[in-house]
Amino acid sequence: MMGLVVRFTVRPDAAAAFDALLATELAGIRAHEPGTLVYAVATDQSEPGVVTLLEVYRDRAAFEAHEDQPHTKHFLAARDQHLAAPTQVRWLDVADMASGPTG
């Protein structure tokens, strides 16, 4: 499995539009991406405007299929207009705990 933690800093005046864009992305993932195992959206009350995604994919092919979906292409093309800072991405190697932790 592989994953990402993606951090967005959303402009205060764009919060509703970003939320709507993200809702469309989530609906597309649920409907068309069996290889996307987790796509969790998190916010932290101590950091208003920051939205963090935790994405976990079955494998690299599932991630590439995600990136190739029309809903994801739309999200990627439209997101930056709503942001106050560059997107931060951290790539993760994800262990299946049924098989035991790594490293």
pLDDT digits (tens, 9 = 90+) for 41-65: 999 999 999 999 999 999 999 999 9
pLDDT digits (tens, 9 = 90+) for 66-91: 999 999 999 999 999 999 999 999 99
- What pTM value is reported for the model? 0.89
Please spell the DSSP secondary structure of 20-59, one letter per residue.
HHHHHHHHHHHHH-TTEEEEEEEE-TTSTTEEEEEEEESS
Q: Is 92 helix (H, G, I), strand (E, B) or coil?
A: strand
| Domains, the chain, ordered by start | 2-93 (3.30.70.100)
